[in-house]
Structure 1
Amino acid sequence: MDAIVDKYHTDQERTSYSRLLKVAIPMVIQGLMFSVMLLVDRIFVGNYDVMYLAAASTAGGLATAFGFFTGETVGFANNIVAQYYGAKRKNMLAAPVWAGLFLASIFAVLLVITLPLTQKIFEFSFFGHEEALIKAEQVYFRYIILMYAVMLFQRALLSYFIGIGQTYKMMIVMVAGNLSNILFDWLLIFGVGPFPEMGIAGAGLASLISAVVSLLIAIWFFVDAKRVQEDMLRPRFQPEIIKRLFLLGLPAGLQVGLEMLGFTVMQMFLGKISTAALAASAVSFGLQNIVYSPTTSVANAGAILIGQERGALRMHNFRLILRKVMIIGSVYSLLMLFIMWRFPEQLITIFDSGDSADPELLAETKHIARYFLLITGLWLVPDVFFNTYMQTLKALGDSRFISITMIIMVFALITLPAVFLSGIDAAWPKYVIYGMTIIYVIILWIIFGLRYRSGKWKDNHVID
């Protein structure tokens, strides 16, 4: 079986809903499972102690900023694979994977050896977090950083399958890991049976175990791929491919990592206002992840197809692929907007076990979270267009422009308002801080839409 056989003989077939959904559905399932895992993690931790819910949000967010920076840099390999696949250059499909493994090794070491320094961020006095909250944040942060160090190798191995459109293998890897995370969350947070009761440390350890499970399955798929890609297991550290992956992947990693960092800083300053505001943002972001994960996955699937079409020099197919991605995303987002606006109390209640150690804190958290959810609903639809254009530009090698733009926007619209408004002693600043996300998404939708229409990405070369 030849991995380069073109199953689609006409442009209509190549831009069809069926082709898009074949790539997208496994990614949607994987994304939903990851979001469910995060949600269950927050629910278990929140039911154990509301303060731990706040700690998991900030510590998990900061660790994810580092993890996404390194992971997206390594993961850019799937865009290179996609273009080689579209160009029918089978002899080059393994090279980006090995380049990814090389960078994964370097980044994993850096994440681990800098842990003693990075975990001290939570001690910074201007965040104003209580000592008990800081200790909980640091414990969870350590485990999640180790999880992301392991996941780097998984990202590199899966880049081959994502690039050639076999996203169902990525789905299997991630679903197995996420299910193991949910199981060990329950066992280790609460101490079920012979397992120790570890609280927030148990949540972190469960995440690390799930990363190891996912990596083992990814290795198995990688070894099995030798049947169709003869040179897959032959190490190919080509300096030119490594350099290209680093130069194109680093801006993509910076963009995702710094965006996540900006939102985490925003949450940490919400924690300066009150623990309830921080916990409410954890509730809202936890629900938000599961709500908009499918639209992100469909946008990523569209970007894979566009990468393949770019490699085949069929740029005229971009418009139809983009239109179908946006139609699917918009219909779904409007449905989710209705649910979030119609049933906010019911959604928030899933974080409440009914026996909280601090009923007053829980009541205030639920009150604030209701309004945060209403705000989230407002940016769901514009986020579809922003995400679709962003993922497309990234697949076409325009990651430097994306990175610069988003770093500026995160700083100006997310971080700075949080820094200045958190010092105001009033009820409204937390809602304005969170509400800036609406302006952020709309402005980026406009900027990236105009960038795509300008055609400046045509000068970028992801492959030689």
Structure 2
Amino acid sequence: MKNTDQTYMKTQPVLRLLLTTALPMVISMLVNSLYNIVDSFFVAKISEDAMTALSLVYPMQNLINAVMIGFGVGINAVISFYLGAQNQEKADRAATQGVILSTIHGILLMVFCLLTIHPFLKLFTSDTTTIQLGLQYSHIVFAFSVMFAWELVFEKVFQAVGRMAVSMVCMMIGCIANIILDPILIFGLGPFPRMEIKGAALATGLGQTISALSYVVIYFCRPLSVRIRRDCVRPDRRICRKLYAIGIPASLNLALPSLLISSLNVILTAYSQTYVFILGVYYKLQTFLYLTANGVIQGMRPLLSYNYGAGEHVRVRNIFKDALIIVFLILLGGMLLCLTIPQQLMGLFSNNPDTIRSGALALRIISAGFITSSLSVTASGALEALGKGLSSLIISLCRYAVLIIPIAFITSRFLGAVGVWHAFWIAEALTAVLAVLIFEHTLKQAE
């Protein structure tokens, strides 16, 4: 297959092209977010301690996700750039070396997280039951880190060449497997033993493995225009630098929520463990919105990278604008849901009236920042696609650390735990202004 197969990325009408590439990813992200909610729903049925344990493990779990997905963004952008520049050899090298480096990352992260999870959990709670539940979950889920790495690297390679439907199918296979396995392994249905929180972890790991194997099968049965080749195994310093130049800032972008959640957990613990539970539930619920929006971003990235590499700067602007409108509509819908049915959403995870009431208030307040975050989310993803990882990182630093953490600390001094919820929309509004300025400056320089 010749590299001209990707030229449609700079010839088809922008909106139709974006919808074609983004829709499969939006669907797969919806399924993925549904899995996150279903997984937490079943864990919450074990006990509130189990859900709290899951919330405390989440930052460490998100660290693995961040490194894997962030480096995958680098692989995606570099492959798409070289395809746009009509350089097949370097596109193959980027794919091959991306697979090798991702495998190494998976092994190192697995070892690091297994060694540090116990002291990490003890930073936030002294409750032995919660700590033991967290250890039971994390020891199993971290053991699948390499399979998760393979799943993500193949996902980004397929996306880079425009095979979004394959990414959708493989991701959905893994997510559906998770959803089916969760109740079976957690509650011990049929011949399977009751594993409770260990079952949730095993279901997650098996789902990732099934998804990764699906990619491998399709890769060999229906070859891509980009190939993983033995003669491309030798490290190419220039390509590795490109991969890391985009991948490291992208990983930091995605790792920042871990820093945010850990910092907010410290603030909230001073008031009540219930607020830690509410924050954990919020982050599970918000994945339904932000993962769906991320599906649009994933569909946008290869189009931007390809057209940027081909020198089509007008199309770059048009692709960005259309993606921004779609992301805005998704987050607007999420805000309306949080304003109209917050009690029902919290009721999925708790039967405690006080927890539901406090959680509903949190959802109403936090959701005020959803629509403004569409600017920063889309601009950050676009900058990664253009190879401007540092600019993207600046935006994310403001969303997840530089602004929101000090604002949360200050507002909590005056309003208590509710002040933490107000910090979300304040930080999103300020970051949105900065994101527009950075993106416009970057495009003007490129043009």
With the length of structure 1 as denominator, give the TM-score of the two structures: 0.88
Structure 1 residue 379: deviation in Å?
A: 1.4
Structure 1 residue 363: deviation in Å?
A: 2.4
Q: Distance in 2 between matches of 1:227 and 1:144?
A: 31
Q: What is the aligned counterpart of 2:211 among 211, 214, 217? A: 214
Match of 1:232 in 2: 228
Q: Distance in 2 between matches of 1:5 and 1:190?
A: 48
Is the contact between residue 129 and residue 272 of structure 1 (CA under 8 Å) also seen in structure 2? Answer: no
Match of 2:373 in 1: 383
Is the contact between residue 372 and residue 434 of structure 1 (CA under 8 Å) also seen in structure 2? Answer: yes
Residues 36-66 of structure 1 deviation map (CA, whole Å, 9 limit, x = unaligned): 1110010001112112111112212321123
Match of 1:455 in 2: 442
Pair 1:458–1:236, CA change in 2 (3 A):
farther
> Is 2:363 the counterpart of 1:373?
yes
> Is 2:393 the counterpart of 1:397?
no
Structure 1 residue 158: deviation in Å?
A: 2.4
Structure 1 residue 408: deviation in Å?
A: 5.6
Pair 1:319–1:256, CA change in 2 (3 A):
same
Match of 1:223 in 2: 220
Is the contact between residue 73 and residue 250 of structure 2 (CA under 8 Å) also seen in structure 1? Answer: no
Is the contact between residue 380 and residue 395 of structure 2 (CA under 8 Å) also seen in structure 1? Answer: no
Is the contact between residue 21 and residue 164 of structure 2 (CA under 8 Å) also seen in structure 1? Answer: yes
Q: Distance in 1 between matches of 2:385 and 2:157?
A: 15
Match of 1:112 in 2: 110
Match of 2:188 in 1: 191
Match of 1:72 in 2: 70
Structure 1 residue 171: deviation in Å?
A: 1.0
Alignment length (residue pairs): 445
Is the contact between residue 161 and residue 225 of structure 2 (CA under 8 Å) also seen in structure 1? Answer: no
Pair 1:329–1:227, CA change in 2 (3 A):
closer
Q: What is the aligned counterpart of 1:157 among 151, 154, 157? A: 154
User: Which residue type is aligned with residue 196 of structure 2?
Assistant: G
Pair 1:37–1:271, CA change in 2 (3 A):
farther
Residues 302-348 of structure 1 deviation map (CA, whole Å, 9 limit, x = unaligned): 22211110111101212211221122222232233222211112222
RMSD between aligned residues: 2.5
Match of 2:164 in 1: 167
Further displaced range: 41-50 or 315-324: 315-324
Q: Distance in 2 between matches of 1:255 and 1:368?
A: 29
Pair 1:351–1:235, CA change in 2 (3 A):
farther
Match of 2:176 in 1: 179
- Residue 196 of structure 1: SS of its match in structure 2? coil
Match of 2:4 in 1: 4
Is the contact between residue 259 and residue 407 of structure 1 (CA under 8 Å) also seen in structure 2? Answer: no
Q: Distance in 2 between matches of 1:101 and 1:392?
A: 23
Is the contact between residue 81 and residue 305 of structure 2 (CA under 8 Å) also seen in structure 1? Answer: yes
Is the contact between residue 226 and residue 233 of structure 1 (CA under 8 Å) also seen in structure 2? Answer: no
- Residue 5 of structure 1: SS of its match in structure 2? helix
> Is 2:121 the counterpart of 1:131?
no
Unaligned runs of 5+ in 1: 355-361
> Is 2:274 the counterpart of 1:276?
yes
Q: Distance in 2 between matches of 1:321 and 1:131?
A: 51
Q: What is the aligned counterpart of 2:294 among 293, 296, 300? A: 296
Q: Distance in 1 between matches of 2:140 and 2:422?
A: 31
Structure 1 residue 448: deviation in Å?
A: 1.9
User: Which residue type is aligned with residue 205 of structure 1?
Assistant: L
Q: How does 1:313-462 map to 2 (within 5 A)?
A: 313-352=311-350, 362-407=352-397, 410-416=400-406, 428-455=415-442, 458=445
Structure 1 residue 409: deviation in Å?
A: 5.2
- Residue 197 of structure 1: SS of its match in structure 2? coil
Q: Distance in 2 between matches of 1:315 and 1:14?
A: 14
Pair 1:272–1:187, CA change in 2 (3 A):
farther
Q: Distance in 2 between matches of 1:289 and 1:37?
A: 10
